[in-house]
Amino acid sequence: MRLSHLVPGAPDVAVTGFAIDHRKVAPGTIFGAFEGARVNGEDFIPAAVEAGAVAVVARSAARVEGALHVRSDEPRALFAALASRFFAPFPATCVAVTGTNGKTSTVEMTRQLWRMAGRHAASIGTLGVTTADDRVTTGLTTPDVVTFLSNVGGLAREGVTHLAFEASSHGLTQYRTEGLPVAAAAFTNLSRDHLDYHGDMAAYFTAKLRLFAEVLSATGTAVVWRDDPQSERVVNLARERGNRIVTVGEHGDDLRLVAREPTLLGQGLTIRAGDADHRVTLPLIGAYQAANALVAAGLVIATGGDVAATIAGLARLQPVRGRLERAAITTTGAPVYVDYAHTPDALEAATAALRPHVEGRLILVFGAGGDRDQGKREPMGEAAARTADVVIVTDDNPRGEDAAAIRAAVLKGAPGAREIGDRRSAIAAAVADAGAGDIVLIAGKGHEQGQIVGDLVLPFDDVAVARECAA
């Protein structure tokens, strides 16, 4: 592709790629220089030009010498728009999911439902890039825009026609998911998270609303979990833009959850669609798993899926890695579950999901991450003390903070909890303590394969450790 085709009036030189890291610049690259929370990309413009950048997308005030300066008041947005033209074409049907909890499960369930309908589908999010044949971990809920668009373009070249991806608040704020024709956008729920980045709940919600205000196609559909208190704002925004609206949940108009009955290994759902009631057994436990499944079904139906066949497909959904995943059974017969819950609301949802299956005690092992929203730590402790019978506070990913100080903040909300800093020892203690009729829940890290301590990522998998301890 030629630079003149991307930027009117630009020199007619070849464009070989895009980069926002100057170390990845090669001759012919368009470099994006953005101001960040910790690093200012404008400081690396000379290095990028020296490495062969033919153009630099940056603020008008930035200094660019030796390459075309493509100026913009919002350089991230312009960079994404140019990159999308370079990496296109993309899958014909793309949908995005935002919300505090449930994004990963919803995009993966959407992918599975599409696959059941014979579609060549993929998902992108916290678990990585997932297709029917392969999975490539990216390590971020929403990767940088170059990685994201190159991955999506690559999927299209492999024949993928349907894509579901997570749209995090960080990703939406930083224009990491731009350039795709988004046919449907879903809202799951809103609760406290990432306030270390956004500052307050209003800014956090505004970031998520950008998916519906700017990213969703003008002819697209908004799929909304109607039982969340903030869903009204999403519905009103979609209505103002003239988007089609599909609502799901107990208060949903399109897929109404009429009844939900827990079973030994799942739950029976009665879903009303139009004038018909559909009964299906979802092989996943917990109210929030039912919520994610209904949102996924809403996305599939919004993009042309058959209503009856899609609802029937819920009975064949497979568990999502690290989301209420049953990791092991102890020698006493107590099941051990692993979940990614790392907010007060998510902890309550996970414990509530398991409670109907507990005959004895619910034993909870969890911690809080370092260098993240400190204000949620005590509420997490309060949620744990309120919903579990036995609470063990341990380390999550301390990152650059003192692990003992993080645990102390959590313990303020759960003063009667047991403190075991070493996560392996905490899991071992919970497994050893579990008797017949008890259930163990290990929360916070879910699918993660490492524990971040300082600048190190130490190998650690909650599922693997639980199995070792149970054995």
168 is annotated as contributing to ligand binding? yes
Is 283 assigned to a binding site? no
Residue 372 labeled ligand binder: yes
Spell out the residues 6+ positions from residue 412 whose beta carbon is closer than 8 angstroms to its own.
377, 378, 381
396 is in an annotated binding site: yes
The Cα–Cα gap between 340 and 256 comes to 27
User: Is 101 annotated in some ligand binding site?
Assistant: yes
Q: Is 29 annotated as a binding residue?
A: no
Cα distance between residue 446 and residue 464, in whole Å: 11
The answer to whether 100 is a known ligand-binding residue is yes
In this structure, which amino acid lies at residue 275? Answer: D
Handedness of CA 218, 126, 406, 355 (dihedral sign): positive
The answer to the question of whether 321 is labelled as a binding residue is no
Whether residue 303 contacts residue 94, with contact meaning beta carbons closer than 8 Å, is answered with no
Is 360 marked as a binding-site residue?
no
Find out whether 394 is annotated in a ligand binding site.
no
Q: Is residue 448 a known part of a binding site?
A: yes
Taking Cα atoms as reference points, which of 94, 114, 90, 99 lies closest to residue 296?
114
Q: Is 72 marked as binding a ligand?
A: no
**Residue 104 annotated as binding?**
yes
Q: Number of H helices and number of E strands within the chain?
A: 16, 23
Q: Does 444 carry a binding-site annotation?
A: yes
Residue 305 marked ligand-binding: no
- DSSP conformation letters of 377-426: HHHHHHHHHHH-SEEEE--S--BTS-HHHHHHHHHTT-TTSEE--SHHHH
Residue 279 is given by DSSP the state: E
- Give the pair of three-digit tokens for residue 351: 């414990």
Dihedral in degrees, nearest 10, Cα atoms 79, 80, 81, 86: 90
**102 is an annotated ligand-binding site residue:** yes
| Residue 85 assigned ligand-binding role | no
Q: Which residue ranges are tagged as binding site?
A: 99-105, 141-142, 168, 174, 176, 372, 396-399, 444, 448
Q: Which residue ranges are tagged as binding site for meso-2,6-diaminopimelate?
A: 372, 396-399, 444, 448
Q: Which residue ranges are tagged as binding site for ATP?
A: 99-105
